[in-house]
Structure 1
Amino acid sequence: MGKLTILGGGRWGTALGLHLSKKGFEIIFFDRNSAVVESLRKGKDAYWGMEFAKNPRATNVLDEAIEFSDLIVIALPVQVIRGVLEKPNLRGKVVVSASKGLEVGTSKRVSQIVQELCRDCKTFVLSGPSFAEEVAKGLPCAVVLAGKDLDTLKELRGVFHSETFRVYLSEDTVGVELGGALKNVIAIACGISDGLGFGDNARASLITRGLAEIVRIGSSLGGKKETFYGLSGLGDLVLTSTSSKSRNRTFGFLLGQGLSVEEAEARIGQVVEGKETVKAVKKLTEELKIYAPISWAVYQVVVENIPPEQVARDLLLRPPQREFEYL
């Protein structure tokens, strides 16, 4: 696997490309943005001005990117993935999803979308607490790589793993994907709380009860409970819910400060995955009758445009619950 294709020249795709170029891989990027493609062709990323160790190729012709390598890394916004992958021939490819979220309408995980479009692909998932800028700079982080084919999984670990990018393995694709998707919704809730000035105690409570909610939803959908206490669950949840670098937390913070959804999105200027994922979560939890009060509260603010102050008050006035459901 000396060559690989990265679908998406955004911050995360670029960060992975910078990391992998240091390891000597030949890379081609696919992106629809001509300015991003041109910047990548010059050997520099479009976000931090960093140079690639090995100049990548870049194209806005999807077939060219797909034909370049048998290893495809997806770093696209979740809601566009189906549209991008519908037409190209992916038969026999190894596909690694590095995107976090659920598809609105179907509530499917990315690996499910890929398998639906290409049953002959080997599909894997990369997730965990990993801000793009820090990965691009080579700062230390740890992530999880999940999949069912153990031989290929171990081979892929060799592709991604380095001294500063530690890769742990898991067979729980469902849990790893759901942890990465669901934490974005809780991070929005934490941002709203911070924007309302509720303080550190409230944020800690939301993270803890949010994790319980993630476990409840994720295990109901087939993920292993222990996965949600690992890097792709708790690790990513803590990072995304507490840092000002987090798009989802920042989006929530701006909503808590009184901005509209449209104003908050415009201020951030990037895709906020949790904004869409919460729609899929609402649909799933209602269909499966899963108790998810924090996610529902985020849905009320983001989709139904109910004032954050009112939603927060309703959330706080709920009858007290048992901390652990088995008591």
Structure 2
Amino acid sequence: MITVLGAGAFGTALAISLSRSGPVTLWARDGDHASEMALTRDNARRLPGVTLPETITVTPDLGSLAPGSPVLLAVPMQQLRGLLKEFGAALGNSRPVACCKGMELETGLGPCRIIEELVPGAQPAILTGPSFAGDIARGLPTALTLACAEPELGRELQQELTTPNIRVYRTTDTIGAELGGALKNVIAIACGAAMGAGLGESARAALMTRGFAEMNRMAVALGARADTLAGLSGFGDLVLTCTSEQSRNTRFGMALGREEAFDAGITVEGSATARAVETRAAALGLEMPITQAVSGLIDRRLGVGEAMEMLLSRPLREE
């Protein structure tokens, strides 16, 4: 039995896809939300228009987990620590798999490191890559990366989490997979801001390219492999997130570029991650000019024109 913690759009989509291969438990913190989904077989609040198969059990009660069962943690990155503080003991005999992307604002840690800290004895994994919840839920083909430092556990999870429409690739580089998913959100905000301000697709292409260089710079400095960033969890996710308005980070950036308000109820992982990355980069002595510009935009220290002027006026150099 696979359990998905988090009944947001992505958690619901994963549960739907996984339920095509067997029973799945979908946990929702809000009891009313869980009852509503169980009754209507629809997650109208987060992923409307997609029917929940009868093989999904929706519940607000985590209950007891079967020893060794996969548990997918599909909650926003900044809520992961709180969830694990509450349920870490119950997860001790399971196989936790992070499905969130980002860097914790207070500590600069990624999800696998937080799981290691709060679930003693756990060997964490992360499932990440270019994917939109709606595509997964509708059965459209998607490829993801499963990163786990322990190779045999990684092979087991790869088999269990592959579905008719999700092809899972495997790596042992958890640091690279974490950082690819986190850093691409920051670059997506920058690209969205450029498009929102009417700076054009050439500017977006430049930001994606130089942003990818920034992603590699930090990832390698923190011990990741460059080839991981060139794969689904880095380059692949960057392309999807920066080029589609389905991306919340891109839409948030577009609102910044247009100087419009953005719905505070929508989770934008790249916002907190940009601040965390800026702090971490400064401590490591890394140049991350796009990240610094995004952080300045979010904090209203910079306007889009000032941010672009700052980037364009940097010293000329070889690529």
- TM-score tier by shorter-chain length is over 0.9
Q: Which residue of 2 aligns with 1:150?
A: 151
What is the Cα deviation at residue 71 of structure 1? 1.8
Q: What TM-score do you get using the length of structure 1 for normalisation?
A: 0.92
Q: Measure, in 1, the Cα distance between the counterparts of 2:12 and 2:67.
A: 17
Partner of 1:321: 317
Match of residue 275 from structure 2: 279
Aligned partners of 2:5 and 2:27 also within 8 Å: yes
* Alpha carbons of structure 1 residues 237 and 256: separation in structure 2 relative to 1, 3 Å: same
Question: Does 2:288 match 1:292?
Answer: yes
Give the AA of the match of 2:85: E
Q: What is the aligned partner in structure 2 of residue 71 from structure 1?
A: 70
Where structure 1 has 5 or more consecutive residues not aligned to the other structure, the ranges are none
| Residue 60 (structure 2) aligns with | 60
Question: Is 2:25 the partner of 1:28?
Answer: yes
Matched positions, count: 314
> Normalization by structure 2: what TM-score?
0.94
Q: Deviation of residue 307 (structure 1)?
A: 1.6
- Name the residue aligned to 1:120: 121
Aligned to 1:87: 86
Residue of structure 1 in register with 2:16 after alignment:
18
Percent identity between the two aligned chains? 38
Q: CA deviation at 1:65?
A: 6.4
Deviation at 1:308, TM superposition (A): 1.7
Do the aligned residues in 2 keep the contact of 1:40 with 1:56 (CA within 8 Å)?
Answer: no
Q: Report matched runs for 1:239-250 at 5 Å.
A: 239-250=240-251
Give me the whole-angstrom Cα distance separating, in 1, the residues matched to 2:304 and 2:99. 31
Cα distance in 1 between the residues matched to 2:231 and 2:169: 10
Q: Quick check: 2:293–2:302 contact (8 Å CA) kept in 1? A: no
* Partner-residue secondary structure (3-state), 1:106: coil
Runs of 4+ in structure 1 deviating by more than 3 angstroms, as ranges, are: 65-69
AA at the equivalent of 1:85:
L
> Structure 1, residues 61-80: CA drift from partner, whole Å, max 9, x if none?
34x26569732100000111
1:207 aligns to 2:208 (yes or no): yes
1:38 equivalent to 2:35? Answer yes
In the TM superposition, 1:124-139 aligns within 5 A as 124-139=125-140
RMSD: 1.6
Task: Please give the per-residue CA displacement for 1:190-211, whole angstroms capped at 9, x wherever unaligned.
Answer: 0000011111111111101000
Where in structure 2 are there 5+ consecutive unaligned residues?
A: none
